[in-house]
Amino acid sequence: MKHLYPFLLLSTLVAAPLAHAQAPAVAAPTVTPASLPPQPPDVAAPKMDPNTGQPQARFMATHEKFVAIAKEGKAQVVFLGDSITAGWAGGGKEVWDKSFGQWNPANFGIGGDRTQHVLWRIENGELDGIKPKVAAIMIGTNNTGGDSVEAIASGVTKIVTTVRAKLPTTQILLLAVFPRGGKPDGKLGAGYEKIKEINSIIAKLDDKKTVHYLDIGDKFIQGKDALSAEIMPDFLHLSPAGYQIWADAIIPKLNELTK
């Protein structure tokens, strides 16, 4: 597994005493990995704990669990993503078991993940030993607060190309970033316009051969430009009804790609 040697080296160098020919040494402030600028969306990075400056313990433990599942080599369909994907094990569990059980699916979703984190995970063992028929990817919403459209699309692209390189016989189902509400009433705001721009770029990754782009976002929108609290209680994460919509929308494609 890769580690943060560049970060540790930087911390060591910066923490070293600064000497002047005629003045006493003055120690420079210590720089921890957590205080360094975040990695660009297309650069692999583990999730960091701001209190310790080390990789987040829960993130690492979950990652190791996924690595172990991958090594078993049983899953025929793998889902990669953030908390929306992780929610299949929560509110979406009943729908998950009923809809995908035939493929012995693996849920590799971690809450709060950005493209950097998913990229790090798949570069560090989560795709080793496994040869699924389909890898379903939906990631990017957690990048929208601070990264540009182009940078986020670049991160998604890097994930797709990395999956293709590691799993050359696996079909990739690339899902558009889901819509999210910017207001208490679920009305879609400027953030959704950004998501649409991201999706317009990553849609071009569809090559009709091994990468298949699918935008199901409109299925979550009820009425005029609004999200229903029955589908997305916080206008971001899905309810069981939302997960049913997701499953119903992709099962035909999964049936096609798993033949």
The per-residue pLDDT for range 116-163, each reduced to its tens digit, is 999 999 999 999 999 999 999 999 999 999 999 999 999 999 999 999
Residues 242, 182: Cα–Cα separation, whole Å: 18
pLDDT digits (tens, 9 = 90+) for 83-118: 999 999 999 999 999 999 999 999 999 999 999 999
The answer on pLDDT for 3 being more than 60 is no
The answer on pLDDT for 29 being more than 70 is no
Question: According to the model, what pLDDT value does residue 222 have?
Answer: 84
Indicate if 237 belongs to the active site: yes
Give the percent of the chain with pLDDT over 90: 80
Ramachandran sector of residue 110 (left: φ over 0; alpha: ψ -120 to 50; beta: rest) = beta
Mean local confidence (pLDDT), 10-32: 36
Q: Which residue has the tokens 């971690």?
A: 110
Q: Which amino acid is at 65?
A: K
Q: Which of 97, 225, 234, 248 is catalytic?
A: 234
Long-range pairs, 187-195, Cβ under 8 A, ≥24: 187/225, 187/226, 188/221, 188/225, 188/226, 188/227, 191/144, 194/144, 194/149, 195/140, 195/141, 195/144
Domain boundaries, the chain: 39-257
| Class of 39-257 in CATH | alpha beta
Question: According to the model, what pLDDT value does residue 19 have?
Answer: 33
Q: Which of 258, 234, 213, 247 is nearest to 100 (CA)?
A: 247
Helix (H) or strand (E) holding 32: none
Ramachandran sector of residue 111 (left: φ over 0; alpha: ψ -120 to 50; beta: rest) = beta
pLDDT digits (tens, 9 = 90+) for 32-69: 444 556 789 999 999 999 899 999 999 999 999 999 99
Indicate if 49 belongs to the active site: no
Question: According to the model, what pLDDT value does residue 38 have?
Answer: 75
Token pair of 258 as six digits: 């798993």
Question: According to the model, what pLDDT value does residue 37 have?
Answer: 66
Burial letters 61-85, b for 16+ CB under 10 A, else e? ebbeebbebbeeeebbbbbbbbbbb
Indicate if 20 belongs to the active site: no
Token pair of 162 as six digits: 């990395």
Residues 195, 236: Cα–Cα separation, whole Å: 13
For residues 172 and 212, the answer to whether their CB atoms sit within 8 Å is: yes
Question: According to the model, what pLDDT value does residue 36 have?
Answer: 53
The answer on pLDDT for 195 being more than 70 is yes
Q: Is the sign of the CA dihedral 135, 139, 126, 99 positive or negative?
A: negative
Q: Which of 83, 148, 215, 228 is catalytic?
A: 83
Q: Report the SS3 class of residue 135.
A: strand
The answer on pLDDT for 6 being more than 60 is no
Give the percent of the chain with pLDDT over 70: 86
